[in-house]
Structure 1
Amino acid sequence: MPRIAFLACADTLPAGGERRGDAFEHDREVAALRPAFGAAGLELVEIDWRAPLPAFDGIALALIGTTWDYQDDAPAFLAKLEALEAAGTRVCNPPALVRWNADKRYLQHLARAGAPTIPTLWRDDVTAADIADARIALGCDDVVIKRQVGAGALGQYRFAPGEAAAPGWRMGRPAMLQPFLASIVEEGEYSFVFIDRAVSHALVKRPRSGDYRVQSLYGGAEDCWTPPAADLARAEAVVAAIPFNDLLYCRIDMVRLPSGELAVIEAEAVEPYLYPDQGPQLGERVARAIIRRLAA
């Protein structure tokens, strides 16, 4: 029986110390995958991505799951994926794709390929003066600043109209500045889950009252959603623009622009939560995709 590693981190694995507030999502995803894998003749093994290479002996394929601390040690994370690949373990998604997707400058590639994106300013660092300049350049009073290498809205800042950064404030890392889009509060953020480039399911994520972040870590909630054809087509256009052939999974997060069209916030191909509660066939779809790769 081929053994499939589900890569996680100490904060999401059930065993060990205190877990993250959203670690229940790890449990839900594993609970969706394990029985489907077993029915397909695969064994799912949860492993911390920081475990030494001998811990991966006998693993046929490593599936990047809830490695939700990678952004704080990205070089080591990428090196481990490449070491696994060099040792003969197939990694999904592949290290080259992960390296490309881990830095949000990939959004520049998607924009050049014609995918709908949000106006963005890219900076090696951000100061209070940059925020003022961004308001002029982006034509908005409400600005969001995100890490170029980051996940889960961690280390993210929002400067609402009339709000200024403290004197001497700086981001301290490469960042991206975008206009805050009110639609994320008014109607939510939309996610499309793709397996082998085919849509599996879609959902809408809404922030709790008084917040704009949609992740469960901040009190966000999600519901099933059937996208209109035009919205699905825009998500499919984003997937089509990803310049790698081997794309086992991807989650496309989108928000509605003032024009009424959806624009991509992120094309998550590293370690996205795939929302199995909204996609009851997720386990079977992922198992089939893995079997195809093992047979190739």
Structure 2
Amino acid sequence: MMEKRCAILSMDSLEDFHAYDHLIEPYLAELGWQTETISWRAQNVNWSDFDAVIIRTPWDYQDDAAAFIQVLEQIEASSAHLENAIEIVRWNIDKIYLQQLEQQGVSVVPTRWFDKLDDKLLTAEQLDIMFEQLNRDQIVLKPRISANSDNTFWLHRSTAAQKLAVLNSAFAQRHFMAQPFMDSVIAEGEFSLFYFNGEYSHAILKTPKKQDFRVQEEHGGQLQSIEPEAELVKQANWCIEQIASIHTMPLYARVDFVRYQESFALMEAELIEPSLYFNMDEQSPKRFAQALVAKMKQLTL
């Protein structure tokens, strides 16, 4: 049987990041798939040389989202199958997708949405209104298109006005959003549940280092494998079902929740380039490889 070829879409350098996609390679090889990691910025790639292109670690795409989408369009126009699908990427790339999930009954962290500032400037009075609307003395402002906590600001009511200059610079040309600072992120952490072809795979708890709120490893966050409680699984399953009702079921999904009120609330549904933390569950790379091959077989029926 002729070996299949799979491109793992990445970036020019992962030197400053923790990536674990190499763990899926032996399992894909056992199933007859050869892998090659390619930067999304690479030139003159013939994507038709591959049977599949899997978006995995292009963790600088937010620096030029339009160019990134153009590359995905080139892949889509080739004979290669792209996962996750480009329509999912277009939907998920702007965090305003959370509005649609909330409308479909997913519990979402309360959010206020703002257009880019252009020539306007945020004022201390406008910041104070955000604190009032979200009913918190601490809030978080971040771009609607972002990754790795870039341009994410943890603001305290008493000192927020001191950051007006940097906020106005950050959001001059970026649509942005405001959310309450979730105390549970500090007290307990953020839960990530992983799904392959809609099937639950594994879960982890991410906790920030002291005096920080960012849970990514690159920012000093700590990870631990967990068995999620039933209510969390229920909320995550419902979220995945709603995503699939809007689009086709993605090959992979990571849904991030925090404890909120009497249950859990969605922080983000990561469908473009989430770390899948294959290092945290020994069988997860195998499950991912099997999910990919199963999906490709379905497409060729």
User: What is the number of residues matched between the two proteins?
Assistant: 284
Separation in 2 of the partners of 1:197 and 1:267?
13
Separation in 1 of the partners of 2:238 and 2:26?
32
- Counterpart position of 1:285: 287
Asked if the contact 1:142–1:180 (Cα under 8 Å) also holds between the matched residues in 2, the reply is yes
Q: Write out aligned runs for 1:1-296 (5 A).
A: 1-12=3-14, 19-20=15-16, 22=17, 25-26=18-19, 28-30=20-22, 32-125=23-116, 127-128=122-123, 129-166=125-162, 167-168=164-165, 169-170=167-168, 171-172=171-172, 173-242=174-243, 243-257=246-260, 259-295=261-297, 296=299
Q: TM-score normalised to the size of structure 1?
A: 0.92
Q: CA deviation at 1:280?
A: 1.6
Question: Could you report, residue by residue, the CA deviation over 1:61-96 in whole angstroms, capped at 9, with x for unpaired residues?
Answer: 001010000011111111111111111111100011
Aligned to 2:56, the other structure's residue is in SS state strand
Aligned to 2:59, the other structure's residue is in SS state coil
Q: CA deviation at 1:11?
A: 2.6
Q: CA deviation at 1:53?
A: 4.4
Q: CA deviation at 1:182?
A: 0.6
Asked if the contact 1:144–1:159 (Cα under 8 Å) also holds between the matched residues in 2, the reply is yes
Asked if the contact 2:128–2:157 (Cα under 8 Å) also holds between the matched residues in 1, the reply is no
Question: Could you report, residue by residue, the CA deviation over 1:158-217 in whole angstroms, capped at 9, with x for unpaired residues?
Answer: 112411233554122110000001100000000000101111000100001111110011
Asked if the contact 1:131–1:143 (Cα under 8 Å) also holds between the matched residues in 2, the reply is no
Unaligned runs of 5+ in 1: 13-18
Counterpart amino acid of residue 164 in structure 1: A
Asked if the contact 2:47–2:78 (Cα under 8 Å) also holds between the matched residues in 1, the reply is no
Percent identical: 32
Asked if the contact 1:94–1:246 (Cα under 8 Å) also holds between the matched residues in 2, the reply is no
Separation in 2 of the partners of 1:53 and 1:261?
49
Separation in 2 of the partners of 1:162 and 1:79?
43
Question: Could you report, residue by residue, the CA deviation over 1:236-281 in whole angstroms, capped at 9, with x for unpaired residues?
Answer: 1111111111310000001111x13110000000000001122222
Separation in 2 of the partners of 1:292 and 1:247?
13
Separation in 2 of the partners of 1:225 and 1:268?
19
Counterpart amino acid of residue 146 in structure 1: K
CA RMSD after TM alignment: 1.4
Q: Which aligned runs of 4 or more in structure 1 are off by greater than 4 angstroms?
A: none
Asked if the contact 2:251–2:295 (Cα under 8 Å) also holds between the matched residues in 1, the reply is no
Q: TM-score normalised to the size of structure 2?
A: 0.91
Separation in 2 of the partners of 1:293 and 1:52?
28
Separation in 1 of the partners of 2:45 and 2:211?
47
Separation in 2 of the partners of 1:202 and 1:148?
25
